[in-house]
Amino acid sequence: MNIMKKPGEIKFIQQVRLIVLLFLGILIIPNNISYGNTHAGIDSAIVEEVHFPIIIGQSKNPVLLIKIYNNQIDQSNLTQIYLTIEDSITLQDVVSLEVFFTADNEVFSSEKAFGTLLNVRNTNVITGIQPLEEGANYFWVTVTLSTKTDLLDKIILDCNKITDSGNNTFKPLPHVIVGNRPAIGFRGDSAVYNHRIYLKNPGLVTTNKGTQVTVFDMRHYKPKDAQSDIDIGTSRSTDNGKTWEPIGIAMDMGEFGGLPQDQNGLCDPSILLDKSNNTIWVAALWSHAYDQKRFWTHSQPGMTPEETGQLVLVKSEDDGKTWSSPINITEQIKDPSWYLFLQGPGKGITMKDGTLVFSAQFKDSTEMPFSTIIYSRDHGETWHIGTGAKPNTTESQVVELQDGSLMLNLRDNRGGSRSVYITNDMGKSWTKHPTSRSALPEPVCQASIINFHYDYKGIKKELLLFSNPNTTIKDRRNITMKISEDDGESWPDKYYTLLDAVVGSGFNRKDWPMGYSCITQIDGHIAGIMYGSSRSDLVFQKVDIAEVMADQKLKK
């Protein structure tokens, strides 16, 4: 028997099968589940993961934004939100989940609560009653984490459906969830001073003993740049960043010259570990006199504190517990005709041959700024300076490449992207790197770059890690860590880790943009980063470099 069918018969049979399958599909889908374009009031639900650091021990950390669009054909009340949380975090460390309604405003606010859940499981339902307005309705899902939370955990939280008062269930449109990271928050609230202190511009190192030491501006009373009452603060962690000692003072010029504290400000610290002897150096700009005037624009040529800014150092020889008196090295490195000389905020390096190097910057006799380096070959006793790498550049950071050359990564006032220059003679001459002004977007801001000596599970490799606001928009959003496997020749986006997507210091503080950051290596595969955040003055987070690289390779 010939069982072969003609092409037309085959096409007809396929069409019949498709109709039958579609009919059966309609029968088995419950009539109260929708994915959008329904006539029950709710038109669609969209879930967006919001990328913020989740501050450990702080309540109401936003994680998800649920956008519900209501066509108002029928009056609807939202009654249930179904949430799932993966085992990427210990569930006992999730103290609570809360949902807040912000009407048609997509800016987070905790004023109007929808519901709270305390006994968090992998699958959760938060119940409430919220009448839906016509058009857009915004619901924020927040999380509170216990102080026992591991900084390497991730909060992978999702919303898989919502229910209204008519018992109609709606599934959100397809979306992607990658998770958020816990963080330690640093704020300048202190009973010691009885006034607000603003923390800014972090530096961060890991000592030979494994201690993390951070330094930063302690801006008393107000967040403005010097001239102002600013000390250099510090804190230590001896458990790889899990806990931190109370904030102390690394550098304070007091009432030098008989002038008050607010005319003896310090700012923009850079920290450096001399790996040969575990001495920690901190460089800062000291601004003397010039009452309430911004020092960047008012410092003058000359050499004395009354005329021009001073570059001062302190050092610690006991793993960051105590600090020396300030050491003024301005005479060693500044040209008297320059308007200003200072360090590049962040950190310096120890080269393979033991040379200490800080990035630096100066405004020449025409007030044009240049990035450069200063270096010491005698463990900080004397200092020398390179030439300017490129005009109209300022805050830079330096790393030593595998061939022994120095790469200077520069803030470029032209905006748009970082400049990158190379020197083989300690800054006497500079060569433009092929990635300059193209590979690393920036909104004109400080950045961090470090050598990372990867050594984990038998794999060793030399990496560069970089962090900055990954945007060309001026508001310094999207704090991102990046990885290069080829000495900065490329920065594959598959290795990007977005840490904080929002501008400002403290939630919704758009009047004080932050974005300064500093990275340190904690062990063979863990990096730590301190940065100015939208959720706190400064935050500290940890990133497992092995996980980032392995996860992305699996997705290829």
Calculate the CA 180 to chain-centre distance: 12
pLDDT (0 to 100) of residue 159: 98
Q: Can you tell me the distance from the alpha carbon of 449 to that of 437, in angstroms, rounded to the nearest whole number?
A: 16
395 is catalytic: yes
pLDDT (0 to 100) of residue 396: 98
Residue 314 β-bridge partners: 282
Judge whether 34-170 and 186-325 match in fold: no
Number of H helices, E strands in the chain: 4, 39
Nearest to 521 by CA among 374, 355, 399, 386: 399
The domain defined by 186-325 folds into: Neuraminidase (2.120.10)
The domain defined by 34-170 folds into: Immunoglobulin-like (2.60.40)
The residue written with tokens 């595998």 in the block is 402
If residue 550 lies in a helix (H) or strand (E), which one and from where to where?
helix 545-555
Which candidate in 48, 98, 306, 395 is catalytic?
395
Q: Can you tell me the distance from the alpha carbon of 543 to that of 517, in angstroms, rounded to the nearest whole number?
A: 14
pLDDT (0 to 100) of residue 73: 63
Q: What are phi and psi of 462, to 5 degrees?
A: -95, 125
Q: Decide if pLDDT at 539 tops 80.
A: yes
3-state helix, strand, coil in the chain (%, to 5): 10, 45, 45
Q: Where are the domains of the chain?
A: 34-170, 186-325
pLDDT (0 to 100) of residue 223: 84
Q: CB of 380 within 8 A of CB of 304? A: no
pLDDT (0 to 100) of residue 6: 40
Between 106 and 293, the higher pLDDT residue:
106
Q: CB of 213 within 8 A of CB of 234? A: yes
Name the percent of the chain lying above pLDDT 90.
81
Q: Decide if pLDDT at 280 tops 90.
A: yes
Q: Decide if pLDDT at 38 tops 70.
A: no
pLDDT (0 to 100) of residue 84: 98
pLDDT (0 to 100) of residue 513: 57
Q: CB of 369 within 8 A of CB of 391? A: yes
Identify the band that residue 224 occupies on the pLDDT scale cut at 50, 70 and 90. Answer: confident
Q: Can you tell me the distance from the alpha carbon of 302 to that of 380, in angstroms, rounded to the nearest whole number?
A: 24
Q: CB of 479 within 8 A of CB of 500? A: yes
Q: Can you tell me the distance from the alpha carbon of 507 to that of 102, in angstroms, rounded to the nearest whole number?
A: 15
Instruction: Report the predicted TM-score, pTM, of the whole model to 2 decimal places.
Output: 0.90
